[in-house]
Structure 1
Amino acid sequence: MKELEKVKNISIASTLFILAVIIGLLTYKRPKNTFALNTKTALEKITSDSFFVPLVNVNNQNYKLIDVRSSYEFDKGHLDTAINISTPEILKEANLEIFKSLKKAGKTVVLYGNNPEEVNTTLLILYQLGYNNVKLLKAEISYLQNRLITKNSDIEKSEKDIAEFIKESTKNADSSSVIQIVTPPKKVITVKQKKKKTAEGGC
């Protein structure tokens, strides 16, 4: 009787498990945005001068300027012909459609913010998503008496080979690390012997 009860419990558990798997498969949705490139590959490709656009070339007909600042900052003042897609809203479906249509039209997207550092994350995300037509404007934006001031931004060029650094870091992370236990050398403490005092006085 107990064995029949066990078999019954096992069959109920198996049926519930199979049902859970079927429901999971039926309700599974692929994520809308998947990276076409991993971070390592994207960093290797974007650490070159070809991804920077100087301020003097901003009027190129093939470029589409996108301001990644907030709508408040954009309304305060922006570059001519620029459209506003702030960084937190970059992955919205309507905004990704804009990037898709610009890529299809063969246009180069030029991102800018208050400074190039502000745009780095947005550039990396879009590039990893497969938008290899994205560049970064070498400009700094400020205001003087509510007037927009733009000036060239000098981007520091690293003296080290970044691609080689990434490659070396990956190699070190992949290699199996061997833990070596190093025993510290024993300290020898010398104890000074006290000199015996000579007996004072006498008989």
Structure 2
Amino acid sequence: MKELEKTKRISIASVLFILIVLIGLLTYKRPPHMYAINSKTTLENITTDNFLISLEDIENKEYVLIDTRNEFEFQKGHLNNAVNIYAPEILNEENTSIFNKFQEENKTMVLYSTNPNEIVAPFMVLYQLGFKNLKMAAINNSYNQNKLITENIDVEKSEADINAFINESIKKAAKQSKPKPIVKAPPKKVIPIKKKKKMPVEGGC
């Protein structure tokens, strides 16, 4: 009887475990965004390929201008036919569908903002998600009497060896993670000090 009860308990536990696994699989939701390219490859490609374009090169039928500034700045003044997608909101569902649509249409998305520094982060996020039809506009936007002034800006291209930099960083991280060996200090030498003998007190009258 005891063995039969044990068998029943094991079988009930097994069924419950299988049910929990099935419920988990059915309710599991895949993250909406998965990186297709890792950071190392992205950095290598960015430094080797030329993703920057000038103001003169923007006039292209195959290009779609993406203004990553906020809506207030966009309404204040923007480039002709630009689409406003605020940088912190590039990963929401509506904007993701817009990027997918442009990619399906083989359109090259040209990101721009107040200056090139502000579009590096959204560019890298989109590139790592697999959007390879991307460019960055090397332009500077400013206002004069509420009128938008757009000018070319010279961006220095890094000539550093990115592979060497990444490998060196990996080595440093590996060294830091290793525990440092405990070095015992050598024992101190104790030098005995000889006590001076007291001279006897001379007596006399």
TM-score surpassing 0.5?
A: yes
RMSD: 3.2
Per-residue CA shift, 1:43-93, capped at 9, x if unaligned?
211123511112332223332110111112211111112110112321233
1:17 and 2:17 correspond: yes
Which residue identity lines up with residue 83 of structure 1 in the other structure? V
Alignment partners' CA distance in 1, 2:119 and 2:70: 12
For the pair shown, the structure with the greater C-alpha radius of gyration is 2
Which residue identity lines up with residue 99 of structure 1 in the other structure? F
Alignment partners' CA distance in 1, 2:150 and 2:189: 69
Q: Structure 1 188/94 Cα, relative in aligned 2: closer, same or farther at 3 Å?
A: same
Alignment partners' CA distance in 2, 1:184 and 1:98: 64
Which residue identity lines up with residue 106 of structure 1 in the other structure? N
Q: Structure 1 6/135 Cα, relative in aligned 2: closer, same or farther at 3 Å?
A: same
Alignment partners' CA distance in 1, 2:66 and 2:153: 17
Count of aligned pairs = 202
Alignment partners' CA distance in 2, 1:197 and 1:144: 97
Alignment partners' CA distance in 2, 1:25 and 1:49: 41
Alignment partners' CA distance in 1, 2:191 and 2:75: 80
Look up the match of 1:186.
186
Deviation, structure 1 residue 36: 1.9
Q: Structure 1 20/77 Cα, relative in aligned 2: closer, same or farther at 3 Å?
A: same
Alignment partners' CA distance in 2, 1:12 and 1:58: 67
TM-score (normalizing by structure 1) = 0.79
- Indicate the SS of the match to 1:136: strand
Alignment partners' CA distance in 2, 1:9 and 1:88: 53
Look up the match of 2:163.
163
Look up the match of 2:105.
105
1:36-75 aligned within 5 A? 36-48=36-48, 50-75=50-75
Alignment partners' CA distance in 1, 2:137 and 2:146: 22
Identity %: 50
1:30 and 2:30 correspond: yes
Deviation, structure 1 residue 100: 2.6
Q: Structure 1 117/189 Cα, relative in aligned 2: closer, same or farther at 3 Å?
A: farther
Q: Structure 1 195/91 Cα, relative in aligned 2: closer, same or farther at 3 Å?
A: same
- Indicate the SS of the match to 1:47: helix
Unaligned stretches of 5+ in structure 2? Answer: none
Mapped contact 1:44–1:166 kept (Cα < 8 A): no
Q: Structure 1 66/196 Cα, relative in aligned 2: closer, same or farther at 3 Å?
A: same
Which residue identity lines up with residue 146 of structure 2 in the other structure? N
TM-score (normalizing by structure 2) = 0.79
